[in-house]
């Protein structure tokens, strides 16, 4: 007998509670295999592809591209065992496509976490084309899987007693489906006593947006807050599909925005995660910053010489990382974290070096694992790999977590100095400004040298200024005379 199984957005780990659908990899009617990638989602950590643990025919998808879903929300439904939804009559064009689902056992790989599939190559997708004659859908099959706004192409319209619930339509709906942009909007309406059947949605084809529900909520609160303005004003609404800017339900242009109003940008995804982490750092860490100017001329010459010798190219970031790991070996207090519950400073044995990378999605901090055990060439190769993944948005959550110390090269933005915020729960961050020609006293004479400003922001709970100053001075000495690194390590 046919089974219609629901696949929910899995727990993505690392404390992530939601994700935004960025791209569907399958369509309703496609035949999928166990652990085939079905959707690409963006979390606060990275862009990831989610595998489906079932084999069968996709019968429904929940959420369009741009929709933000909480963990545990339905992603899609799959007809497993025999065709249940949208199956054509025998002899139809899709018989071959359905045969795979008909023979597939109703089983799951159990590998529903992102990145944990069987490793088998994904099957070629096959579309089920609508046939003229359509097999009826049993009430039992429909009762097992709620139907989204997008159903199998050839599924018949739901009749009385079939138990169909469209997105935004509750079981108690009386006048047909209520098109709602996401289940979160339906929940908002239910919690605030808003009857969706009485709303005229401002979205495409009357789709009810979050802003429509919020308008009703504001109108209900208007008697308490005073009379509302007589004219409609432009608004910006944050919905499950992202930000919709600049028009009212009446279609007023953004230029009619009321004085004092502004554009609202939702803090979610990478930007929201950065905001949360930086706020926590400022709340919990009593930080201090110290800085020094250094003559980087010899370091630049050393890099040129290394690259001229042949072999893999060495980046400046890799040289600075090598200096950092050497400095942390001498000052392990800065490679630590504070456990306030135990009231202990935990000094870490390994250095997992994070580095700040600006991408189109925002600021991310990829992590070079075991940086203390890598040579300069290995560091350079790993920086290049992680930077490319960051630009492509393909970093995994594991590559974005677990750093113990962060190197921040903000000089690429053309600035000399900064007071960076510590990447919680680390204890310190080294900032590097731009390297530019400046007047400098070199060997007793005024000369033009390549000068860089180095800054260290540190958690004052793990050490005092003497330790922080010693760390920064060692880094500066290595920048000025790279041979110091060989002599003192």
Q: What is the pLDDT of residues 258-298, one digit of tens each?
A: 556 788 888 877 777 778 888 999 999 999 999 999 999 99
In a domain, 275, yes or no: no
Count of domains in the chain? 3
In a domain, 267, yes or no: no
Same domain, 150 and 177: no
In a domain, 450, yes or no: yes
Peptide bond into 425 cis (omega under 30): yes
Number of Cβ within a 10 Å radius of residue 122: 17
- Contacts for 297 with CB less than 8 Å, ≥ 6 apart: 442, 449, 450
Same domain, 115 and 217: no
Number of Cβ within a 10 Å radius of residue 106: 15
Same domain, 147 and 81: yes
In a domain, 235, yes or no: no
Same domain, 147 and 180: no
Tell which of 164, 180, 195 closes a domain. Answer: 164
In a domain, 236, yes or no: no
In a domain, 244, yes or no: no
Contact yes or no for 423/440 (Cβ under 8 A): no
Res 64: pLDDT:
87
Same domain, 347 and 478: yes
Structural domain that includes position 34: 3-164
In a domain, 270, yes or no: no
Same domain, 315 and 213: no
What is the C-alpha to C-alpha distance for residues 57 and 51, in angstroms, rounded to an integer? 14
Contact yes or no for 334/458 (Cβ under 8 A): yes
Same domain, 77 and 199: no
**Residue 66 region by backbone torsions, left for phi larger than 0, else alpha for psi between -120 and 50, else beta:** left
pLDDT digits (tens, 9 = 90+) for 213-237: 888 887 877 655 454 444 333 333 3
Which of 11, 349, 460, 477 is an active site residue?
460
Supply the pTM of this predicted model.
Answer: 0.53
Same domain, 177 and 149: no
Distances (CA, A) of 317 to 93, 160, 211, 339: 58, 66, 46, 31
Same domain, 26 and 67: yes
What is the C-alpha to C-alpha distance for residues 103 and 115, in angstroms, rounded to an integer? 27
What's 353's domain CATH number?
A: 3.30.559.10
Taking each helix axis as running N to C, give the angle between helix 316-330 and helix 297-308, from 0 to 180 degrees, rounded to the nearest 10: 120
Helix (H, G, I), strand (E, B) or coil at 89: coil
Same domain, 115 and 185: no
CA-wise closest residue to 429 among 452, 451, 404, 457: 457
Same domain, 158 and 91: yes
In a domain, 160, yes or no: yes
Same domain, 45 and 113: yes
Res 430: pLDDT:
97
Residue whose tokens read 């070996």: 329
372 among known catalytic residues: no
- Contacts for 315 with CB less than 8 Å, ≥ 6 apart: 380, 383, 384
Phi first, then psi: what are they for 364, rounded to 5°? Answer: -130, 160
What is the C-alpha to C-alpha distance for residues 23 and 31, in angstroms, rounded to an integer? 18
464 among known catalytic residues: yes
What's 41's domain CATH number?
A: 2.40.50.100
What's 212's domain CATH number?
A: 4.10.320.10
What is the C-alpha to C-alpha distance for residues 114 and 49, in angstroms, rounded to an integer? 7
Tell which of 207, 224, 241 closes a domain. Answer: 224
Res 190: pLDDT:
79
Tell which of 119, 144, 164 closes a domain. Answer: 164
- Contacts for 354 with CB less than 8 Å, ≥ 6 apart: 365, 366, 367, 368, 403, 404, 405, 406, 407, 423, 426
- Identify the segments of the chain with pLDDT beneath 50: 83-106, 112-176, 225, 227-256, 489
CA-wise closest residue to 205 among 163, 147, 149: 149
């Amino acid at each position: 007998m046919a089974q219609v199984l629901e696949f929910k957005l899995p727990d993505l780990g690392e404390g992530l509670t939601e994700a935004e659908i960025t791209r569907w990899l399958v369509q309703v009617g496609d035949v999928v295999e166990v652990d085939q990638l079905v959707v690409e989602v963006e979390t606060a950590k990275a862009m990831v592809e989610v595998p489906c643990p079932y084999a069968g025919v996709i019968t429904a998808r929940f959420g369009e591209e741009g929709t933000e879903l909480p963990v545990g929300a339905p992603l899609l439904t799959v007809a497993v065992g025999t065709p249940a939804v949208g199956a054509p009559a025998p002899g139809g064009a899709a018989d071959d496509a359905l045969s795979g689902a008909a023979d597939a056992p109703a089983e799951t790989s159990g590998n529903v976490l992102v990145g944990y599939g069987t490793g088998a190559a994904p099957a070629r997708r096959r579309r089920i084309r609508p046939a003229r004659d359509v097999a009826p859908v049993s009430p039992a099959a429909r009762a097992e899987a709620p139907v989204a706004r997008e159903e199998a192409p050839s599924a018949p319209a739901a009749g009385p007693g079939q138990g169909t619930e469209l997105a935004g339509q509750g079981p108690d709906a009386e006048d047909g489906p209520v098109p709602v942009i996401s289940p979160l909007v339906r929940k908002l309406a239910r919690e605030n006593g808003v009857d969706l059947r009485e709303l005229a949605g401002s979205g495409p084809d009357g789709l009810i947006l979050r802003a429509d529900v919020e308008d009703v909520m504001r109108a209900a609160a208007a008697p308490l807050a005073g009379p509302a303005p007589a004219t409609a004003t432009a608004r910006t609404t944050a919905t499950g599909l992202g930000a919709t800017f600049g028009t009212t339900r009446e279609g007023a242009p953004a230029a009619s925005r009321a004085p004092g109003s502004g554009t609202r940008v939702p803090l979610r995804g990478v930007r929201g995660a950065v905001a949360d982490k930086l706020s926590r750092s400022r709340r919990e860490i009593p930080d201090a910053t110290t800085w020094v100017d250094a003559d980087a001329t010899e370091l630049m010459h050393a890099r040129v010489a290394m690259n001229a010798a042949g072999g893999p190219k060495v980046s400046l970031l890799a040289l600075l990382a090598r200096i950092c790991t050497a400095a942390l070996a001498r000052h392990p207090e800065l490679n630590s974290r504070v456990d306030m519950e135990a009231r202990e400073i935990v000094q870490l044995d390994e250095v997992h070096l994070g580095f700040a990378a600006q991408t189109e999605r925002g600021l991310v901090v990829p992590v070079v694992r075991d940086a203390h055990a890598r040579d300069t060439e290995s560091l350079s190769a790993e920086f290049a790999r992680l930077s490319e993944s960051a630009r492509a948005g393909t970093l995994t959550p594991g590559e974005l977590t677990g750093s113990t110390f962060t190197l921040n090269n903000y000089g690429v933005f053309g600035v000399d100095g900064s007071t960076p915020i510590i990447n919680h729960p680390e204890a310190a961050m080294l900032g590097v400004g731009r390297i530019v020609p400046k007047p400098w006293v070199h060997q007793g004479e005024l000369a033009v040298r390549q000068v860089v400003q180095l800054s260290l922001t540190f958690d004052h709970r793990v050490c005092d200024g003497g330790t922080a100053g010693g760390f920064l001075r060692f880094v500066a000495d290595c920048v000025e005379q790279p041979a110091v690194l060989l002599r003192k390590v």
